[in-house]
Amino acid sequence: MDHNEFTLDFILDTDWEVLPEEVRHQSKRCLLDTLGAQIAGHQTPAGQIIADMAQQEFGGEKATVLVRGSRTSASAAALVNGFAGNALDIDDGYRNIKGHPGACILPVALAASELALRDVSGKSFLSALVVGYEVAIRAGLIRHSTYATYHSSGSWGAIAGAAVAGKLMGLSREKLCHALGAAEYHAPIAPMMKCIEIPGMGKDSIGWGCMVAMMSAVLAEKGFTGIEPIFNDSPNEKWIASLGKSYEMMNLYFKPYSACRWAQPGVDGGMKIMAENNLDHKDIKQINVYTFEESAALNTGYPQNTEEAQYNINFPIAAAILDGEVGPSQVLEPRLFDDDIHKMMDKINIISQDRFQGNFPEKAESEVEITTTTGRTYSSGIMSARWDPHSTLPTDQELEDKFLWLTAPVLGQIQAKSLVTLIWNFEQEEELDKMIDLCIIKND
């Protein structure tokens, strides 16, 4: 079996009519969730810096930077929107590739749709997203199996983005193959743990991956040749043979908090104890969090910026205990530097235990113990990250509530709700103009 040819068949032949109903619906859930994270992410320091840079350094009027509504080249728009999509670390993920496919795909799909010579319908757009997720997951599995170092999402996400762009732009089979190869060759091969140990705004290298994906499709259209794509490197026949049969996007996790996934079982554990025992935060003397090695490796010091808050384990647990949520209001200024959160962080001890290691990365599990000033200790029991296939996936209403929580402060409640309605009925749209327009702040 030629894995590359099989993958090309899947990319080119997949359309709305062949997709199972549950996959169609999941594509809209993914669009809602990823777009919400992207809109909110434009308000972060990283999102604003990249948008300013693109305006200064790139030309063009071919694609839209969301929220601002400015126009630039398709590659630059993918770059800016890509950085925003992962800026709050609240976007979807797939456990076994330890990364975020949605944020790697949607920014490229938006830019490629605006670049396409024909109108892209809602059905075509959603079908391309499905292709992107399925290709991303396979590329991620292969990338992790062939590289010893844990590489960030952009390293395999660029390949998936090129698949999406090529499909939406109508590239020929030959040019699509070259786009995939070019994206693999030029993708950011970023060592993920270095950005977790000392966080920077590059994070999962998703923004750069999106730009590489878009640029690879544009180059291929002009005749640029790429290497043989990654899919023939697969050590597992089933990873590729399952394309179009097993839709792995049904096994995504979603994130209720703006924090590293590895910290989120601890967040839920702390909030569970507080709620079930009607505790006041003033009653807390000490918090012990038992977890797996990678989770325990997250920073525990006071964060100095948004990225350090997200790649911290003590901060989101402390913020959740005090505020009942971990979102933009917590990881951005001024709450980011709040003394009350810092005092609660000082009470938290992180303890790595082998009992949680065996199930990682399939599951992210922790257990929290809170000891009160009276000497009583409460346990959460073993917690698995919420909104996960191994725990309880979010309902449509929960994803809708999350979307409004993230986007209404940016766009306004009426505009945000209009976007929700549009997305749930997106297969009826004949073009994307209305959705893009609703993602832009109105100044009147």
**pLDDT tens-place string over residues 255-299:** 999 999 999 999 999 999 999 999 999 999 999 999 999 999 999
Range 88-103 average pLDDT: 94
Helices 74-86/101-115 angle, 10° precision: 150
Range 16-23 average pLDDT: 97
Residues whose CB falls within 8 Å of the CB of residue 254, separated by 6 or more in sequence, listed in order = 33, 92, 387, 393, 394, 399, 402
Q: What is the pLDDT of residue 332?
A: 95
Q: Check whether 362 has a pLDDT greater than 90.
A: no
Cβ count within 10 A of residue 442? 10
CA 90 to chain centre: 6
Q: What is the pLDDT of residue 444?
A: 61
pLDDT band of residue 384 (cuts 50, 70, 90) is: very high
SS3 of residue 299 by DSSP: strand
Domain limits, the chain: 3-254+404-438, 261-384
Structural contact between residues 101 and 92, judged by C-beta atoms closer than 8 angstroms:
yes
Range 391-408 average pLDDT: 96
Range 93-107 average pLDDT: 95
Fold of 3-254+404-438: 2-methylcitrate dehydratase PrpD (1.10.4100)
Cα dihedral angle (387, 390, 391, 395), rounded to 10 degrees? 40
Tell me if domain 3-254+404-438 and domain 261-384 are identical in fold: no
- Partners of residue 383 on adjacent β-strands: 366
Structural contact between residues 383 and 266, judged by C-beta atoms closer than 8 angstroms:
yes
Q: Check whether 126 has a pLDDT greater than 70.
A: yes
Quick one: tokens of 32? 């809602």
pLDDT digits (tens, 9 = 90+) for 60-88: 999 999 999 999 999 999 999 999 999 99
pLDDT digits (tens, 9 = 90+) for 298-319: 999 999 999 999 999 999 999 9
Residue 196, CA distances (Å) to 72, 204, 226, 308, 359 in order: 31, 9, 32, 8, 21
Average pLDDT of every residue of the chain: 95
Q: What is the pLDDT of residue 195?
A: 77
Structural contact between residues 40 and 412, judged by C-beta atoms closer than 8 angstroms:
no
Q: Check whether 184 has a pLDDT greater than 90.
A: yes
Structural contact between residues 406 and 439, judged by C-beta atoms closer than 8 angstroms:
no
Lowest mean pLDDT among 144-148, 186-190, 196-200, 224-228: 196-200
pLDDT band of residue 339 (cuts 50, 70, 90) is: very high
Rounded CA-CA distance 170/437 in Å is: 24
Q: What is the pLDDT of residue 243?
A: 97
Q: Check whether 199 has a pLDDT greater than 90.
A: no
Q: What is the pLDDT of residue 13?
A: 97
Range 395-412 average pLDDT: 98
The structure tokens 């990365």 sit at 361
Q: Per the confidence metrics, is the pTM higher than 0.85?
A: yes
Rounded CA-CA distance 369/367 in Å is: 7
Quick one: tokens of 73? 């080249």
pLDDT band of residue 150 (cuts 50, 70, 90) is: confident
SS3 of residue 191 by DSSP: strand
Task: Read off φ and ψ for residue 189, nearest 5 degrees.
Answer: -95, 80
CATH superfamily of 261-384: 2-methylcitrate dehydratase PrpD (3.30.1330.120)
The structure tokens 């609660």 sit at 344
pLDDT band of residue 233 (cuts 50, 70, 90) is: very high
Structural contact between residues 388 and 277, judged by C-beta atoms closer than 8 angstroms:
no
CA 14 to chain centre: 23
Q: What is the pLDDT of residue 183?
A: 98
